[in-house]
Amino acid sequence: AVLLVAIAATVGVAAAHLPAVPTVALLAAGQAGTHAVLATVPAEHTHLSWTMLAAHVVAVAGCARLLTVAGRLHAAITRVVRAVLSAGPVPVDAPVQVGPGGAVRRIVEARPPPSIRRRGPPVAVA
């Protein structure tokens, strides 16, 4: 497992530092390296058949295509996010008052203002 991780890390570092190398070449190198490591370990992975070679070719081509599509999708999403974040805050208009129109008087307006009151003795005293 350590050797497989070392191959994956080597291919990853090569991909990061050598952007001119095609993704297919890097994936093929990784497949060949992992196959060589698994062939040196005493296991049943020492043979190379046509079906295994075809499976490796299909895996390399499929993964390269998926990585290309993922890179394009990431670039598109990044452009949209940057455009949204660089636009700045959206101006907000004054809130719209929702309620009855001017023809309906509110309950507070229906009673007289507090400064106009009848002051004087009760009716029974006068």
**Residue recorded with tokens 């990431």:** 74
Mean pLDDT value across the chain: 80
State the average pLDDT over residues 95-111: 60
**More confident: 32 or 122:** 32
pTM, full prediction = 0.54
DSSP assignment of 63-88 equals HHHHHHHHHHHHHHHHHHHHHHHHT-
pLDDT for 118 beyond 90: no
Q: Look at residue 78 in the predicted model and tell me its pLDDT.
A: 96
Domain boundaries, the chain: 2-86
CB 39 within 8 A of CB 45: yes
Model pLDDT for residues 41-72, shown as the tens digit of each residue: 766 665 677 888 888 889 899 998 998 899 99
